[in-house]
A and B are shown apart, each in its own frame.
Chain A
Amino acid sequence: MEQSKKRDWSAFLRGMQSVIGLLGLCVVLSLLSPRFLKWGNILNVLTQTSLNAVMAIGMTFVILTGGIDLSVGSVLAFSGMVTAGMIRAGFNVWIAVLAGLAIGTALGFVNGLSVTKGNVPPFIATLAMMTMARGATLVYSNGQPKSNLGKAFGFLGQGRILSIPVPVIILFLIFIISYYILGQTSTGRYIYATGSNEKAAKLSGIKTDNIKLLVYAISGFTAALTGMVVTSMLDSASPNAGTGAELDAIAAVVLGGTSLSGGQGSVVGTIIGALIIGVLNNGLNLLNVSSYYQQLIKGVVILVAVLIDRRKR
């Protein structure tokens, strides 16, 4: 009885580790900067974090199956550019948005096909997609940004509902849906099963190929969704948008305690991880830390977090 109580306590602590890290970070920052806890700043942090977090949730699905998706930054740019191009060409805004989302999902699906039917390692398949989608963006845009996309489209990135920024609401919806899929559905269980032991999962009748196609498509969708929000926020689709975004997304997933070898982790962790990165970015800016040091500090935080994570396994 006593023993199991202790175990619960330690398991609880383990689960809360990243939350404790986040809270600690917030306490420290609010002591160092009086502006950190202002409502306006909190909304800023949430909006800034929501971009990375939505993409990181898609990435979590992929990483849970033991894969990786390096193409998200380029998929973000391509779908944003296509949507902007369609709006400029006079299409209805929501049709343009749906088309952008569909293209992102399709690119993700192609990643899934390469990984499953083509037997290409995820790192390589998505690396190729990263290059192709970036190239396609440059070809389609001729290297020029597409801007002035109108008020209706601006709502996605700049609008507010009940004074909450729309990107934050989008993140909340994506989070709820993902949390439900992973925790309450058989598909969710199959995703974990595929990641922890693919052979066993196959033998027990799970169609692991379909599961993988699904997770890459989800990652493509969330990348495209982020592309919509970024493009709307800036009122401009830039051909080099999202360069390096895959690294921030992976960092959020890893900080959130999801194992890169698959089978273990959660979207709750990913949200916390994205918040740690977002809070750190914002806090270091508020404290006027030189951008050279900022990158150094972020690297150290990620490394230390993963080292702690390693030790507990």
Chain B
Amino acid sequence: MERKSVKRLLTVLVTLVLVTSLVMGCSSGTAPEQGQEKKKIGLVISTLNNPFFVTLRDGAQQKADELGYELVVLDSQNDSSKEYSNVQDILQQGISLLLINPVDSDAVANAVKLANDAKIPVITLDRGANGGEVVTHIASDNVAGGKMAGEYVVQQLNGKGKVVQLEGIPGASSARDRGKGFLEAIEGTEIELVASQPADFDRTKGMTVMQNILQAQPEIDAVFAQNDEMALGAIQAIESAGRQGIMVVGFDAIDDALQAIKDGKMAATVAQQPDRIGSLGVEYADKVLKGEDVPTYVPVDLKLITKDNVDTMD
């Protein structure tokens, strides 16, 4: 009897040692170098299960190494309550500044307030916070991206033609901004917007909405879809209707869209630069910590991807 319980106790201890060594192994990178303690910057990120945010993290890490900061990264796994505990935990670690990429702009407000209470400055990345005090917000400039797509269409059509716009979810800020930029670009040209309909950022809806538009419009030269999913749906509709000579421009540069550009089915897409968002995050963190003034919003450039530069995107 007694031997058994001793054995069990041993098993527990062995497990603990195993876990400890695992933990030690994984966290060895955090040891301060040459006895000099680096300043810490915290990054609480919405998810690391999505390549976009992994790239954002990598961009931030690279910049942090360059500027001599230690970057502490916690993953909220797309769960706002996990995000809240992550902020609690990261504040315990003696960070000087918090970079946060919120799961949800509303639900992050109380987490931001925790940092405010601890007198730690906060910078939001990619998604904003609807509450609490934030020093600056760094995100893609969707208006500029829409404009970029619009200018490309204008240039390709030599300033004249009939275009269709597929809109994102009504009310979503990305949809509003991309549409605004696009309209700015075609304003004052001889390009006519013959139809503009919401298809909710969805591929299937992009297809059905485009089918209807194709029925109504005998002449279309170009389609701007506010994301790639809808653009790909539109391409499907155009192909099955057997229409020729319609140029499709999307947004986001998802893998399927890049492939479609390579295959010559799609003309262009606008890529966000998550690595830039991450590296600018650390760059502005550095400025804030040095007491420099920073603007309340830092727009991040987007990049137009066409057949000419699509191969550089992998």
Asked if A10 meets B110 with Cβ closer than 8 Å, knowing A288-B27, A297-B22, the reply is no
**Per-residue interface assignment for chain B, residues 7 to 29, with 1 indicating a CB less than 8 Å from any chain A CB and 0 otherwise:** 01101110110111011101101
Residues of B within 8 A of A158 (CB): 110
**Per-residue interface assignment for chain A, residues 271 to 313, with 1 indicating a CB less than 8 Å from any chain B CB and 0 otherwise:** 0000000000111111111111110010011001000100110
Across the interface, do A48 and B9 meet the contact criterion of CB distance under 8 Å?
Answer: no
Query: Is the CB of B158 closer than 8 A to any CB of chain A?
Result: no
Across the interface, do B27 and A35 meet the contact criterion of CB distance under 8 Å?
Answer: no
Across the interface, do B92 and A13 meet the contact criterion of CB distance under 8 Å?
Answer: no
Residue of A nearest to B103 (CB): A238
Main secondary structure of the interface of A (DSSP, over half): helix
Asked if A285 meets B74 with Cβ closer than 8 Å, knowing A10-B4, A44-B92, the reply is yes
Residues of B within 8 A of A38 (CB): 92
Instruction: Give the distance to chain A from B24, nearest Cβ to Cβ, in Å.
Output: 7
Across the interface, do B9 and A20 meet the contact criterion of CB distance under 8 Å?
Answer: yes
Query: Is the CB of B259 closer than 8 A to any CB of chain A?
Result: no
Count residues on chain A whose CB falls below 8 Å from chain B CBs. 57
Query: Is the CB of A32 closer than 8 A to any CB of chain B?
Result: yes
Across the interface, do B109 and A235 meet the contact criterion of CB distance under 8 Å?
Answer: yes
**Per-residue interface assignment for chain A, residues 30 to 56, with 1 indicating a CB less than 8 Å from any chain B CB and 0 otherwise:** 001001001011001001100100000
Across the interface, do B89 and A17 meet the contact criterion of CB distance under 8 Å?
Answer: no
Across the interface, do B80 and A13 meet the contact criterion of CB distance under 8 Å?
Answer: no
Instruction: Give the distance to chain A from B314, nearest Cβ to Cβ, in Å.
Output: 23
Query: Is the CB of A117 closer than 8 A to any CB of chain B?
Result: no
Asked if A290 meets B1 with Cβ closer than 8 Å, knowing A28-B20, A233-B81, A238-B104, the reply is no
Instruction: Give the distance to chain B from A57, nearest Cβ to Cβ, in Å.
Output: 18
Asked if A292 meets B48 with Cβ closer than 8 Å, knowing A230-B81, A235-B110, A285-B86, the reply is yes
Across the interface, do A293 and B92 meet the contact criterion of CB distance under 8 Å?
Answer: no
Option from A240, A286, A300, A312 in Cβ contact (under 8 Å) with B19: A300
Main secondary structure of the interface of B (DSSP, over half): helix
Instruction: Give the distance to chain A from B110, nearest Cβ to Cβ, in Å.
Output: 5
Asked if A236 meets B12 with Cβ closer than 8 Å, knowing A147-B130, A287-B30, A288-B27, the reply is no
Query: Is the CB of B152 closer than 8 A to any CB of chain A?
Result: no
CA–CA, A189 and B132, complex, Å: 50
Residues of A within 8 A of B88 (CB): 44, 47-48
8 A Cβ contacts from B190-224 to A: none
CA–CA, A243 and B104, complex, Å: 15
Asked if A13 meets B9 with Cβ closer than 8 Å, knowing A235-B110, A287-B23, the reply is yes
Asked if A301 meets B15 with Cβ closer than 8 Å, knowing A291-B75, A312-B8, the reply is yes
Residues of chain B at the chain A interface (Cβ within 8 Å): 1-2, 4-5, 8-9, 11-13, 15-16, 18-20, 22-24, 26-27, 29-30, 48, 72-75, 77-81, 84-86, 88-90, 92-94, 104, 106-107, 109-111, 130-131
19 A-B residue pairs with Cβ-Cβ distance under 8 Å, sorted by A, are A13-B9, A47-B88, A158-B110, A233-B81, A233-B84, A234-B107, A236-B107, A240-B79, A241-B81, A282-B85, A285-B85, A288-B27, A290-B26, A291-B75, A293-B26, A308-B15, A311-B8, A311-B11, A312-B8
Q: A44-B85, A234-B84, A287-B27 are in contact. List 13 more A-B contacts (CB 8 A).
A: A9-B5, A32-B23, A41-B89, A44-B88, A47-B88, A51-B81, A236-B106, A241-B79, A241-B81, A285-B89, A290-B26, A291-B77, A301-B15
When A and B form their complex, which 4 residue pairs have the shortest distance between CB atoms, in order from nearest? A291-B75, A147-B106, A285-B89, A236-B107
